[in-house]
Amino acid sequence: MPGKIKQIKKAIKILEIANAVYKLLGANGHIKDIREGPKVYSCDYSLDNPGAVDLGKLIKNLGGNLSKIGDKELTIDLAKAEQDIVQLASLLSSPEFKKTKNALPVIFGVDTVGKPMILDLFKMPHLLVGGQAGSGKSTLLKSVYESLTRKLKSSALKFLIIDSKNTDFAKYKNSQYLLKPIVNKPEKGLVALEQVVDIMNERYAQLRAAKVKNIQEYQKKHKDMPYIIVMVDELSDLMAQNRREVESCIQQIAQKARATGIHLIVATRDLSRGNISDMIRANLPTVVAFKTRDKSGSVRILGEGGAENLLNYGDILLSNAGRMPVRMHPAYTR
Ligand SMILES: Nc1ncnc2c1ncn2[C@@H]1O[C@H](COP(=O)(O)OP(=O)(O)OP(=O)(O)O)[C@@H](O)[C@H]1O
Ligand SMILES: [Mg+2]
């Protein structure tokens, strides 16, 4: 009996969603599939007569509901009234994370239907993370830390954390994974970034001397070159003080550091052009957009609108080098 009640409740829910979708879209087509994830229902809708439909008007009707539009089909994500929190702890112990072969596996939460999203920072290889205050940027950075430290030994992985708010990363202050103590003063942020550039250049000399092209070849021969993950939280505190020098470091790291095993993650809530300058935007093509206050913030970071329609936290659009943004729900960790 309880199983039956569950089934009936589910059917009612799906009817409600179908109703909502027809309200938004009119009877221009039919629903093909409805899938439930932790935070949204994704509904595939097929247009019966695509030529006869004013797509512009349809999209306008969708309002704040994120959608992916094709020629004949669209997927619309409707926010659930009761949303689940995606817990990092359960993803850390998931089979998907356990068996990943990624060089630098990072848990990005789950996709809209709840499938674990484990990506390889080695391939991304640097990230610009932007979104309004409280949208979950620092939480994602902590997921990066927790994922990587679970998989790599401290002899093979070091973090350099520039945390100018001095709150989110304090718990890691005695960690053996730190390259140097957490940098809390914005004015010391530039010094730290300059050190990273120096390390990168020294590593290039090491690679040349060993006659190898990159860290992975070097590790096969010598094994003593740890990956370094540089996390800047929050960029605007550094830009306010040493704009040109900070830009220059970011540019050099973004262009050259990957072969030397150095990866940069820059987070910011200030999506203005004054902060995310054209140079920074051009050098960090892999973008994680959290909810933005308005469309212009989304356009600045993502190159298009959409992030203004995300949920308040735990909801991102990830865009890898200009490819179509993919929606994911990052995991929560303290
Ligand atoms: N993935 C998540 N799932 C559920 N809740 C979340 C998630 N990420 C963040 N939160 C909630 O939002 C709060 C703010 O998150 P966080 O500090 O990461 O935001 P932020 O973008 O770094 O903010 P700020 O701009 O102030 O630095 C968290 O304390 C938590 O309560
Ligand atoms: Mg933060």
- pLDDT at residue number 188: 96
Residue 325 domain flag: yes
**64 and 107 belong to one structural domain:** no
Beta carbon of 169 within 6 Å of any ligand 1 atom: no
Distance 193 CA to ligand 2 centre (A): 19
- How many whole angstroms separate alpha carbon 197 and alpha carbon 308? 35
pLDDT tens track for 225-252: 999 999 999 999 999 999 999 999 999 9
**316 and 262 belong to one structural domain:** yes
Residue 39 backbone dihedrals phi, psi, to 5 degrees: -125, -20
Beta carbon of 330 within 6 Å of any ligand 1 atom: yes
- How many whole angstroms separate alpha carbon 104 and alpha carbon 157? 10
Coil/strand/helix, residue 74: strand
Residue 334 domain flag: no
Show which of 25, 54, 79 is a domain's final residue.
79
Distance 70 CA to ligand 1 centre (A): 33
Residues surrounding ion ligand 2 at CB below 5 Å: 137-138
- How many whole angstroms separate alpha carbon 151 and alpha carbon 82? 33
Distance 30 CA to ligand 1 centre (A): 37
- pLDDT at residue number 47: 80
Residue 218 domain flag: yes
**204 and 75 belong to one structural domain:** no
Query: Measuring from atom 15 of ligand 1, which residue has the nearest CA?
Result: 136
CATH for 74:
3.30.1360
Beta carbon of 269 within 6 Å of any ligand 1 atom: yes
pTM, two decimals, is 0.93
- pLDDT at residue number 315: 96
**112 and 251 belong to one structural domain:** yes
Beta carbon of 181 within 6 Å of any ligand 1 atom: no
**322 and 177 belong to one structural domain:** yes
Beta carbon of 147 within 6 Å of any ligand 1 atom: no
**106 and 51 belong to one structural domain:** no
Q: Average pLDDT over the chain, rounded to whole? A: 91
pLDDT tens track for 312-330: 999 999 998 878 899 999 9
Position 27 confidence tier, pLDDT thresholds 50, 70, 90: low
**56 and 200 belong to one structural domain:** no
Distance 168 CA to ligand 1 centre (A): 10
Say how many domains are in the chain.
2
Residue 96 domain flag: yes
pLDDT tens track for 261-311: 999 999 999 999 999 999 999 999 999 999 999 999 999 999 988 999 999
Beta carbon of 116 within 6 Å of any ligand 1 atom: no
Coil/strand/helix, residue 287: strand
Show which of 37, 52, 79 is a domain's final residue.
79
Beta carbon of 314 within 6 Å of any ligand 1 atom: yes
pLDDT at 104 over 80: yes
Query: Would you tell me how many other CB atoms lie within 10 Å of the CB of residue 10?
Result: 11
312: containing domain: 88-329
DSSP 144-193: HHHHHHHHS-TTTEEEEEEETT-STTGGGTT-TTBSSSPB--HHHHHHHH
Position 64 confidence tier, pLDDT thresholds 50, 70, 90: low
Test site for ligand 1: of 84, 111, 117, 139, most ligand atoms within 8 A of the Cβ: 139
CATH for 141:
3.40.50.300
Residue 61 domain flag: yes
**113 and 196 belong to one structural domain:** yes
Roughly what angle, to the nearest 10 degrees, separates helices 186-209 and 235-256? 10
Of ligand 1's listed atoms, the one at least distance from the Cα of 267 is 22
Beta carbon of 136 within 6 Å of any ligand 1 atom: yes
- pLDDT at residue number 20: 77
Residue 148 domain flag: yes
**Residue 11 CA neighbour count, 13 Å, CB half:** 6
Say what the alpha-carbon torsion angle 163, 165, 166, 172 is, to the nearest 10 degrees. -40
- DSSP H helices, the chain, are 2-25, 55-62, 88-92, 95-98, 137-151, 186-209, 215-221, 235-256, 278-283, 295-302
**93 and 228 belong to one structural domain:** yes
- H or E element in which residue 228 lies: strand 227-233
pLDDT tens track for 154-167: 999 999 999 999 98
What percentage of the chain reaches a pLDDT higher than 90?
Answer: 73
**68 and 193 belong to one structural domain:** no
Beta carbon of 292 within 6 Å of any ligand 1 atom: no
- pLDDT at residue number 22: 75
Residue 16 domain flag: yes
Structure tokens belonging to residue 50? 């695509």
- pLDDT at residue number 12: 79
Show which of 79, 96, 118 is a domain's final residue.
79
**181 and 60 belong to one structural domain:** no
- pLDDT at residue number 28: 74
pLDDT at 145 over 90: yes
**282 and 315 belong to one structural domain:** yes
Report which of residues 81 and 67 the model is more confident about: 81
- pLDDT at residue number 14: 78
- How many whole angstroms separate alpha carbon 42 and alpha carbon 75? 6
Of ligand 1's listed atoms, the one at least distance from the Cα of 140 is 18
Residue 175, exposed/middle/buried by CB under 10 A (0-12, 13-18, 19+)? middle
pLDDT at 61 over 70: no
- pLDDT at residue number 243: 95
- pLDDT at residue number 62: 67
Position 137 confidence tier, pLDDT thresholds 50, 70, 90: very high
